[in-house]
């Protein structure tokens, strides 16, 4: 996969307007002796149109951070602002509407509805929101992910790689402010995983999409512009992603 045309990523803290930002984010699970600080005073932001990978050892807080950023979990303390909206001030209904309008999700397990065709799954977020596709946007997305010849097929008739392509298209269909990807290549073979990462990279470079991806795979992280490493609920590295080898060496330093 070529990356020569990748835009230069802004340095952390460069002042580029973030699409999502966390300030002094703390998430505590349990009480007393069972209390666990999954996140502790994490302050980080994510500029528009950039691809960020989040990595760290098991239990480092990376999934908890993504869930708080996406409004799927509430922090114990601190704040999250997503596309200008403070999440802490929203009730469940308003949070659901914000996620519907502003957020796309890609999961390791695809999360496609088995009774719907590929096209119906792709257009589902728009249908739920009562919106019609804007212009030829959905058709462009379908052609970009390369599943036009499988649109009438249901998930059970698709390979894992094809299902994840549908999931990528679904995440992009509503033109969200940010896409959160949770181990998007975790259930795929190496070629399918490479293809999905290439699609995510292209969505940033060609569509200006913002992507925040949690992964354990150094090769996947190397496709991103930026790498965040978490350990024990703290950000311990924030910089350019670099090569897979460089990412692996950073992880070795954490004992991951």
pLDDT above 60 for 8: no
235 pLDDT band (50/70/90 cuts)?
very high
256 pLDDT band (50/70/90 cuts)?
low
Choose among 205, 247, 203, 208: nearest CA to 53.
247
16 pLDDT band (50/70/90 cuts)?
low
Note the pTM of the prediction, 2 decimals: 0.89
In a domain, 232, yes or no: yes
Instruction: Count up the domains in the chain and report the number.
Output: 1
In a domain, 8, yes or no: no
pLDDT above 70 for 9: no
In a domain, 24, yes or no: yes
In a domain, 3, yes or no: no
Q: Which residue has the higher pLDDT, 4 or 151?
A: 151
Distance from C-alpha of 191 to C-alpha of 225, rounded to nearest angstrom: 21
Q: Which residue has the higher pLDDT, 31 or 65?
A: 65
Cβ count within 10 A of residue 243: 12
In a domain, 7, yes or no: no
Taking residues 54-67, what's their average pLDDT? 93
Taking residues 9-33, what's their average pLDDT? 77
Domain assignment of residue 228, given as a range = 18-254
Q: CA–CA distance from 38 to each of 21, 66, 84 (Å)?
A: 18, 12, 25
12 pLDDT band (50/70/90 cuts)?
very low
- Sequence-separated (6 or more) residues with CB below 8 Å from residue 63: 182, 214
- Sequence-separated (6 or more) residues with CB below 8 Å from residue 96: none
Bridge partner residues of 240 (DSSP)? 226
CATH of the domain at 236: 3.40.50.300
Taking residues 222-232, what's their average pLDDT? 96
* Average pLDDT score, the chain: 89
In a domain, 150, yes or no: yes
169 pLDDT band (50/70/90 cuts)?
very high
> What is the predicted pLDDT for the residue at 34?
87
Taking residues 179-185, what's their average pLDDT? 94
69 pLDDT band (50/70/90 cuts)?
very high
In a domain, 1, yes or no: no
DSSP state of 209: -
The helix/strand/coil state of 235 is strand
In a domain, 28, yes or no: yes
> What is the predicted pLDDT for the residue at 41?
95
């Amino acid at each position: 996969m070529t990356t020569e045309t990748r835009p230069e990523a802004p340095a952390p803290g460069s002042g580029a307007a973030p699409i999502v930002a966390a300030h002094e984010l703390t998430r505590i699970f349990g009480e007393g002796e069972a209390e666990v600080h999954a996140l502790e005073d994490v302050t980080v932001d994510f500029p528009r149109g950039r691809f960020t990978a989040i990595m760290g050892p098991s239990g480092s807080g990376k999934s908890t951070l993504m869930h708080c950023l996406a409004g799927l979990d509430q922090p114990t303390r601190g704040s999250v602002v997503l596309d200008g909206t403070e999440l802490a001030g929203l009730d469940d209904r308003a949070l659901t509407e914000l996620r519907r309008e502003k957020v796309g999700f890609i999961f390791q397990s695809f999360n496609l509805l088995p009774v719907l065709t590929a096209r119906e799954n792709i257009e589902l977020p728009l249908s739920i929101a009562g919106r019609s596709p804007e212009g030829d946007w959905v058709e462009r997305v379908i052609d970009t992910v390369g599943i036009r010849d499988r649109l009438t097929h249901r998930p059970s008739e698709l390979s894992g790689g094809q299902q994840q392509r549908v999931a990528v298209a679904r995440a992009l269909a509503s033109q969200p402010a940010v896409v959160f990807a949770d181990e998007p290549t975790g259930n795929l073979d190496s070629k399918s995983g490479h293809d999905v990462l290439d699609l995510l990279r292209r969505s940033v470079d060609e569509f200006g999409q913002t992507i925040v991806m949690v992964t354990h795979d150094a090769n996947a992280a190397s496709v991103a512009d930026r790498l965040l490493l978490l350990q024990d609920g703290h950000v311990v590295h924030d910089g350019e992603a670099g090569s897979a080898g460089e990412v692996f060496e950073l992880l070795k330093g954490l004992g991951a």
